[in-house]
Amino acid sequence: MSSGEYLAFLSTKYEVEPDRLFNALVSAERNEESNCGGLSIRCRSNSHSKVVILITKGSKVVAQFPISKELLLQQENPIKAFIGTSLAGRYVNRKPINPPSLRIKDLKVGMKKVNLKARILEIPEPKVIFTRFGNYASVSNALITDETGTIKLCLWNDQISSVTAGDMVQIENARVSVFRGESQLVIGRNGRLGKKDEPVFLAKKVNG
C-alpha cells in the first residue's frame, strides 16, 4: 500500500479534507507538530529522505508510519488521487447506513431501529418497579412530540435525569411496543438518547 493510499484512507475514515490533512503533514514536518480536524500530528523523526509521522486522536494512537519527503514536496496534493478508490473507497462502502429519521405519525407497533427527533413535553414522576430480572428500577413514560403527533417514550433509571421537559432530543435505535393498549417508544441496550441544540420543527400556534 502506498503512502498516498493510506493517507486517503485516514482522510476518509476521520472525515478530514485531503487538503487539510496534507497541509497538516507538511506543517508537522517543518514545525514538529500540527493539528487537523481533531487529529494531532507529530513528526517523530526527520532524516534526509523521510519523516516518521505519529497521528493521535485524544489519547488514542491512530497511526504511525514513514513518509518520504519527496511526497511532501509535491505541488499537487497526492492524497486526492486516492480518494474514493481502493482502500478509502472500500471503507466508505463498509460504513453502516443509519436508518432514516422518522416522524411520530409513521411509527407502528413492532418497528425496530427507529431514529426520531422530537421535543419532550413532560416527564411524569418516576415509579420504582421490580423487574423480571430480579432488581428494582425507576421508570417514567415521558410524552414527546413532533409536528405530526405525540407518543410516550419509556425512560429508565439514568435516562430519566438526563433530559428535562422542553428538551429537543435525538432518539436512535429504539423500538415501538405497546403497553396497556398504548403505543410507546423504548430505547434498548443498543439505543441512544441525546439532546439536540437546535429545534427540528416549529411548534404550531394554538389559538385560544
DSSP letters for 76-123: S-TTGGGTTSHHHHHHHHHSPPPPPEE-GGG--TT--SEEEEEEEEE-
Q: Is the pLDDT of residue 202 over 60?
A: no
Q: Distance between CA 83 and CA 5 in Å, rounded?
A: 8
Q: Is the pLDDT of residue 60 over 50?
A: yes
From the centroid of its chain, how far is CA 169?
A: 14
Q: Distance between CA 119 and CA 8 in Å, rounded?
A: 40
Other Cβ atoms less than 10 A from the Cβ of 152: the count is 18
**Do 107 and 39 touch, CB atoms closer than 8 A?**
no
- Superfamily of domain 101-196 in CATH is Nucleic acid-binding proteins (2.40.50.140)
Q: Distance between CA 153 and CA 104 in Å, rounded?
A: 11
Confidence of residue 197 (pLDDT cuts 50, 70, 90): low
**What confidence score (pLDDT) does residue 138 get?**
92
Q: What is the 3-state secondary structure (H, E, C) of 59-88?
A: CEEEEEEEEEHHHHCCCCCCCHHHCCCHHH
Q: Is the pLDDT of residue 112 over 50?
A: yes
Q: Distance between CA 197 and CA 168 in Å, rounded?
A: 7
Q: Distance between CA 127 and CA 139 in Å, rounded?
A: 5
Confidence of residue 50 (pLDDT cuts 50, 70, 90): very high
Q: For the chain, give the mean pLDDT.
A: 84
Rounded to whole angstroms, the maximal C-alpha distance in the chain is 78
**What confidence score (pLDDT) does residue 201 get?**
42
In the chain, where are the structural domains located? 3-94, 101-196
Residue partners of 85: CB distance under 8 A and separation at least 6? 8
Using a pLDDT cut of 70, give the percent of the chain over it: 86
